[in-house]
Structure formats: C-alpha cells, structure tokens
Structure 1
Amino acid sequence: MNKRPRCFDLDALQSFVTGIELGSFAQAAERLGRSTSAVSAQLKKLEQQCGVALVEKSGRHLVPSRSGEVLLGYARRLLALNGEAALAVGGGALSGPLRVGMQEDFGERLLPAVLGAFSRAHPEVQLTARIGRNAELLHGIAAGELDLALCWQWQQSTPWMASLGAVPLRWIGAQPEDAARFRDTSTPLPLVMFEAPCLMRSRATEALDRAGIPWRIALESRSLQGIWAAVSAGLGVTVRADAGLPENLYRLEAAALPALGVAGITLHQGNAVLTDAALSLKSQLCRELALRLNPAV
C-alpha cells in the first residue's frame, strides 16, 4: 500500500515563514494575531511531519536549519500560490485600468510576488506598473497618473498616504571588511549614491558629519542598478535597506560606521476613493509587506 503523502497546513507554514523572517516566533505570533503557544505548536507539528528540526539558535535569533531552508522556499511558493488562488476565486470580476508605481528597492521582490500574481488572477484589469524614485512617483500621484505608489517616507506628503511601517537602513559594501578598510585610510570615505535629493544620501552624509568622518561622493547614479554595480566594483559604500539587496553585496559592521536609523515606508493613493481593483491590490501589497519587511519601529 502506498504511503499517504504529507499535507502541510498553510497556517502552520505561514507561522513558520513569518517566524523566520522576523527572527522570532513571539513576534510572528503578534504579527499574525495568534498566541505564542499556538505558533509554537504549529512549528512542532511541522517538525514532526518532516521528521527533522526546522530551526536552530544563532545568537539571540532563530534561523532555519538546513532542512528548514529547503522547506522555507517551498512554503513561500505554496503561500504565494494560495494567495493567487484566493484572488482568482474571490474577485474574478475585477476590471478596468490600474496604475501603480514603486521604488526600485521594492521592485525585485514585490513585482513578481504581488503584481504578477494579481495580474494573472485578474486578467480583465489593465495593470500598468512604473518603477522610479520618490519625486517621480509622487508627481505621478499628484498629476493623476498613478492610482497607488509605494515610496520611502521623507519630505513630501500626499492627502491620502498611509504608513506601512519602517525598516533599518544599512551600510552596504562589496566585502564584509569594507567599512574598516575604507576607514583605515586617511582619505574621505567614498560614497556611492543617488543624485540629490535622496533620503539615503542625506542620512549617510548627516550621520558621517555628526561622527566627524570625512566623506566624498565617489559615484553619483540615476539608477539603483548603477549603485549596485559601482559598489560591486569596489568604488565605495552605499546606504540602502535590506529590500532587494543583491546576494554578492554585504551589510557592513555597524561598529565601524555611524548608525543610520530607520526609513519609513508609505503607500500613496491618487484619490480618496479607490476602485475595487485598486483596493484589492492595496490590500495585497500591505499583506505582502507585513510578511516580508521587518518593521523596526
């Protein structure tokens, strides 16, 4: 007789993924509106089904074991597919134009995870996406060219903006020792930055000025890909959030460079009343960000 295949519980997989992404199952329980004991029981059930430990301690945080890393990839795919199926079954009548913009930092992860799934689930919606910087996206909101825009929170505001939390800013370099390597020299710290005005650029230069660390702009770019390429080439260090960080670059040790604080994330909308399609996508964006980004405040 064939052995019955394992059927993983989606709620348990959601708790597992959230716990790993937050580094704490107590925080996962709070995020998901469940008790800590319920989340712990779900994790234990998953480990019993798999027959192996899925998490292990790393300092004060929990990280996935080797088997946990394998399950994590499948769990994310299963949850994404479940969300896509729920959209398709629950809201197939959505239609009409929908224009959304987002910062480059969010594009790599949220475009396939949210916009791709939304487009497949609602083929009657004419979805148009724009990747850009804050000023461009907020101009699109003000001019009525965008229905929704996901931005970094900085100087500008719009009438119907909503805060979605905050994420820590990081010093980024091509090698883990870049902070110490550049600081060991008598020359100013080389920075790779967007053209001004830029939130990350301002945070970096203000923090360095407060710490009395000399700096210079080694490369000024109009695109995030240009920044990543210049940092990879060893031209200097930059400041970004973890969202979209390439695998070949490193978060630098905070001890060598001044703290940068956090960056808020805001969702702007072009009108007080959104279409059904825009409301559905807004809800999906908020859920996805809540799971993927670890709020620092």
Structure 2
Amino acid sequence: MNLTNVDLDSLRALVIAQDLGGYGRAAEQLGRTPSAISLQMKRLQAEVGVSLFRRQGKRTLLTEQGEIAVRYARRVLELNDEMLDTLRGASLSGVVRVGFGHDFVDTLLPLALARFNALYPLVKLEVTIDRNSLLEGEIGAGRLDVALTLGNHREGSGTKIGKLPLCWIINSKFPLKPKDPLPLVLFEHPCIFRTYALDALDRAGLSWRIAMTSPSVAGLWAAVKGGLGMTVRAKIGAPEEFDFAPPAMPSLGMTDVILHRRKSARAAYVRRFAEIVGELAVSHYKLNGTTGNL
C-alpha cells in the first residue's frame, strides 16, 4: 500500500485560514500572498484525493470532508509543534517583550504565560500591561515583540483574530437617577472605549457627565464599586460582582481583537508566543470573528 505524506505547511495554512476567516488574513500572518495560500489548498486537496472546499457565491467554504481535515490537521500540527518545542525549547534562552491590554490580564495572560514557560523555561518574559493604543505604539516603535489589544483594526496594524462585545458595566447597589445626566467612569483621552461610550450616548440623545477618569482599569473598577458611575469595557474583563446595564442603554457594538507581532522579531520563541496567544484567544473567548469562511 502506497501511503501519502500530507504537507505540514499546507495543513498549517489550512488551519490558520480557518481560524482567521480567509486566505487574505492567513497570507498576512504567514508572510505570503493570498494566491500562494490558494495554490497550497489546491495541492492539499489533490494530496488527500477528496473535495475539501465548495463555492457559495463569492465565498469558499469547507465541505464536510474539509471540516474533518481541519480537525485532524489541528491534532497533527499540535503534535508536530509539541515535539519541536520539547526538543528545542528547553535549551533556548533569550527575551520576549510582550504587551496585553487590561481586559486580558485576569483571563488570558496567566494561561499564555504558563503554556509558554512550560515550553521555553529559560526565555525571559518582559510583560507590559497598558492601554490598547499605547501598546500598539510600542509595537510600532520596536519596544514590544508581541501584543494583544482591543480596538478598531486598521490595515497593516496587526492581525484581527475576532470580535468581542462591549457592554455598560454598573454597580446595581447604586441605582442611577433617571433625570440626572449619566455619570461615567472612563479612561483619560485617548481611549477607544471612551469614544464608543460618548458616541453611543450622543446618538441616543442622552445627557452624561464624566464623574471620574483614571489611567488604570483598577481605578475604573474602584470607582464603579464605590458607586461613582458606570463604565464601558469588553465583557471578558468585567468583575463578577458588577452588573451589565439594562437593554434601554444604547448598544455599544463589538470591538476587534488584534494580535500584533513586530515584523523584525524573527526568533522562534517570539513567533511561538504569538501563536500561543492567538490560539488561546480564539479558544478561550470563542471569538465570533473566526467564521470558518475561507
């Protein structure tokens, strides 16, 4: 019996395209062109001998066999990466400078640090927790290697790996007074969440006032806990002791989850840290930006 060895590089491209929602985003992350990714997928389909893709209008979707292929591809790549990380990682040393937005600190960050440290115990991690816009600037200035932020994704600024809902967060022990301007607790300007909040209130014709500003999310939570007002964050970062504002409040929509990696950071452990963060974000938050459309 003649066995066929499936190309691992093609399997990785398939999985990344599936996770990021298309050939274009996969090409951006892998440093290739969308046409090169498309050619890889055609070769992969020829190797396995079954149809992995189907057309629906202008979109390319997975067939049932394609969905099975993606599940197996994840397992194959996980074993491949685990073997290489185990063989190589334990003896590597260096420094990775990483940044996380405040909303990820209590959820994703511990998972990413633990998983990376198990693979690269001698690599030093320098972690920065800051506002999303400042982290993006640090990536551009070359002072960070990897960052995970929230905000409006712009072409050429990292890779959008999904979207998360924004919400009004309040302390129900301190009810709002219907006739008074809404008291707000926000980051100082500039802040994308501050912009979302004020724009939504203005569109709805609701009056508001800034009750407190703070440079840290801990300050925001303290103010909400003390009853100074409400704030706006992604749901993933909201303490369980707080409540979400009633449906009568204007909708805030969604915000992009953006993974940044400094282009000149070529060390294998930097790339691996970025992959770990991306994989954990997609699985842990069940990101709705990963549609499965290729």
Residue 274 (str. 1) matches residue 274 (str. 2): no
Structure 1 residues 34 and 107: alpha-carbon distance in aligned structure 2, compared to 1, 3 A threshold: farther
Check the 8 A contact 2:93/2:122 in 1, yes or no.
Answer: yes
1:235 alignment counterpart: 228
2:212 alignment counterpart: 219
Q: 2:142 aligns with which of 126, 144, 152?
A: 144
Check the 8 A contact 1:95/1:277 in 2, yes or no.
Answer: no
| Residues 16-70 of structure 1: CA deviation (Å, up to 9, x unaligned) | xxxxxxxxxxxxxx9xx559xx9xxxxxxxxxxxxxxxxxxxxxxxxxxxxxxxx
1:244, 1:86 → 2: CA distance? 34
Q: Which one is further off, 146-155 or 162-171? A: 146-155
1:169 alignment counterpart: 166
1:208, 1:34 → 2: CA distance? 46
TM-score (norm 2): 0.66
Q: Which one is further off, 207-216 or 244-253? A: 244-253
Check the 8 A contact 1:141/1:270 in 2, yes or no.
Answer: yes
1:296, 1:219 → 2: CA distance? 32
Structure 1 residues 237 and 95: alpha-carbon distance in aligned structure 2, compared to 1, 3 A threshold: same
TM-score (norm 1): 0.65
Q: Secondary structure at the match of 1:138?
A: helix
| Residues 108-134 of structure 1: CA deviation (Å, up to 9, x unaligned) | 122211113312431221211111112
Q: 2:110 aligns with which of 106, 109, 112?
A: 112
State the 1:230 CA deviation.
0.5
Structure 1 residues 240 and 86: alpha-carbon distance in aligned structure 2, compared to 1, 3 A threshold: farther
Residue 252 (str. 1) matches residue 245 (str. 2): yes
Counterparts in 2 of 1:54-93, with a 5 A limit? 89=86, 91-93=89-91
Counterparts in 2 of 1:123-162, with a 5 A limit? 123-154=121-152, 157=154, 159=156, 161-162=158-159
1:262, 1:128 → 2: CA distance? 30
Structure 1 residues 94 and 211: alpha-carbon distance in aligned structure 2, compared to 1, 3 A threshold: same
Structure 1 residues 87 and 104: alpha-carbon distance in aligned structure 2, compared to 1, 3 A threshold: farther
1:294, 1:174 → 2: CA distance? 27
Q: Aligned residues, how many? A: 215
2:211, 2:83 → 1: CA distance? 48
| Residues 144-177 of structure 1: CA deviation (Å, up to 9, x unaligned) | 111111111337x5846111110010111112x8
Check the 8 A contact 1:138/1:149 in 2, yes or no.
Answer: yes
2:275, 2:269 → 1: CA distance? 10
Partner amino acid for 2:285? L
| Residues 74-111 of structure 1: CA deviation (Å, up to 9, x unaligned) | xxxxxxxx9x9878635434432111111011111222
Structure 2 segments unaligned to the other structure (5+ residues): 1-63, 72-78, 290-294
Counterparts in 2 of 1:11-26, with a 5 A limit? none
Residue 262 (str. 1) matches residue 259 (str. 2): no
2:204, 2:136 → 1: CA distance? 32
Check the 8 A contact 2:164/2:254 in 1, yes or no.
Answer: yes
Q: 1:205 aligns with which of 198, 202, 212?
A: 198
2:149, 2:122 → 1: CA distance? 27
2:93, 2:116 → 1: CA distance? 12
- Superposed CA RMSD in Å reads 2.8
Structure 1 segments unaligned to the other structure (5+ residues): 1-29, 39-81
Structure 1 residues 148 and 195: alpha-carbon distance in aligned structure 2, compared to 1, 3 A threshold: same
Structure 1 residues 220 and 87: alpha-carbon distance in aligned structure 2, compared to 1, 3 A threshold: farther
